Amino acid sequence: MDADFKYTWTIFTVTGTMHVNIKKMGLNAMVDFGTQQGVNQPFDLAPYLKVGALDVALNNNDIDITLSGSLVSKIASVFIPLIKSSIIPQIINTVKA
């Protein structure tokens, strides 16, 4: 996954590109399959899919992050633990919601 980023800390602003490679991730989902009546044809049946509980298991050690851009090549090691500890949990919570 590739994404552009902009990070500001006090008076410093760093922009660039982030490449994230997830090597291992666990995904558990409760999925309900069924049929429902058609909208225009009430006698026809249409399939439906309903996702209930969703659980994502992701270890920070299974994520490789590469940063490139302005000023990042010199201080990338400072930003990678920050990204893993703050942004990745927010992404997981968004997926679960």
Q: Where are the beta strands (DSSP E) in 10-78?
A: 12-22, 26-37, 45-57, 63-69
User: Is the pLDDT reported for residue 14 higher than 80?
Assistant: no
Q: What is the pTM of this model?
A: 0.56
**Higher confidence at residue 24 or residue 3?**
24
Distance between CA atoms of residues 68 and 79, nearest Å = 11
The domain limits of the chain are 1-22+59-97, 25-57
> Which value, to the nearest 10 degrees, does the dihedral of the CA atoms of residues 89, 92, 93, 95 take?
160
pLDDT at 74: 63
Contact criterion met (CB below 8 Å) for 33 and 23: no
Distance between CA atoms of residues 71 and 79, nearest Å = 11
What band does 71 get if pLDDT is binned at 50, 70 and 90?
low
What rounded mean pLDDT belongs to the chain?
Answer: 80
What band does 72 get if pLDDT is binned at 50, 70 and 90?
low
**Higher confidence at residue 89 or residue 79?**
89
